[in-house]
Amino acid sequence: MELRDKLVVRPDKPVKLQDWDPAETLGLEKESAVEKTEKSMARLDELQYLMYAGHRHALLVVLQGMDGAGKDGTIRHVMGGLNPQGCHVTSFKAPSAEEADHDFLWRVHRAVPPAGDVAIFNRSHYEDVLVARVRKLVPKEVWSGRYDQINRFEQLLTDSGVVIAKFFLHISKDEQRRRFEQRLRDPTKQWKLSLDDFEDRKHWDQYAAAYEEALARCSTAAAPWFVVPADKKWFRNFAVSRILVETLEALDMRFPKPSVDLSRIKLI
């Protein structure tokens, strides 16, 4: 069984995060996982090049999680080996005035990768059924209609050749506290602190409920959600890298044939 089959959220199934152990490592030891991650990263580099050459698919990676779950760390440690010419990271924060004047998916669609490229979303369109819901930024009748809108949007993308892999980086409340305490002590990490992070921690249960509904309603065959245990950073990195390799290998990509008759080329 592939790793993605073990961590995928089954479509149309209820999700209870308490059923997913954030400290799970599936029996792997750290040393072995780090070695496997390095191999997966090397394979990802090969697959990115193959996807660019074929120019039929694009890859969209969505990273979501509670504050401190490791979205930045995943990008740095897993995606760091990709060719930056064909890889773009977008961090979705509070909408700008221009973005707020459009529908909630407008700014997201603009960041979707073109054929051959990789895009990584650090947070995403799901903020509009998470933060918007918990902080009551819009009425319930607004955010509750967005699940179906998101599903239709993602189906449009996959119909257009965009492969979508969505990762919920699942940490425990205790692990979040440990990471926040570490940031408070470490001058090199204090810049990452935000009052909003501590305020959102007060609403842990509400965010958990919002994530559960988003995972349950928006994990589809076309755009699945994966719940990645993230208390152990080394396992998080291994899981994300391995699932991405499995996802791209399933496309069975091939290099395109030369556009010229090679027999006519003479080197002088």
Q: Own/partner pairs for 128-136, CB < 8 Å, 24+ apart?
A: 128/104, 129/210, 129/213, 129/214, 130/64, 130/207, 130/210, 130/211, 130/214, 133/210, 134/200, 134/203, 134/206, 134/207, 134/210
Tell me the one-letter amino acid at 261: D
What is the enclosing helix (H) or strand (E) of 36?
helix 30-54
- Chain centroid to Cα 104, Å, comes to 19
Tokens of 244: 């991405």
Beta bridge partners, 121, equal 62, 90
Return the CATH number of the domain spanning residue range 3-252: 3.40.50.300
Residue listed under structure tokens 């602190």: 193
**pLDDT tens per residue, range 125-166:** 999 999 999 999 999 999 999 999 999 999 999 999 999 999
3-state SS, residue 21: coil
Q: How confident is the model at residue 89 (pLDDT cuts 50, 70, 90)?
A: very high
Average of per-residue pLDDT values in the chain:
95
Per-residue pLDDT for 196 more than 80?
no
**pLDDT tens per residue, range 35-52:** 999 999 999 999 999 999
Distance CA 209, CA 56 (A): 37
> Considering the entire predicted model, what is its pTM?
0.95
Give the phi and the psi of residue 44 in degrees, each rounded to 5. Answer: -60, -40
Determine whether 229 is exposed, middle or buried from the number of CB atoms within 10 Å of its CB (0-12, 13-18, 19+): buried
Tell me the one-letter amino acid at 240: V
Tokens of 144: 């509750």
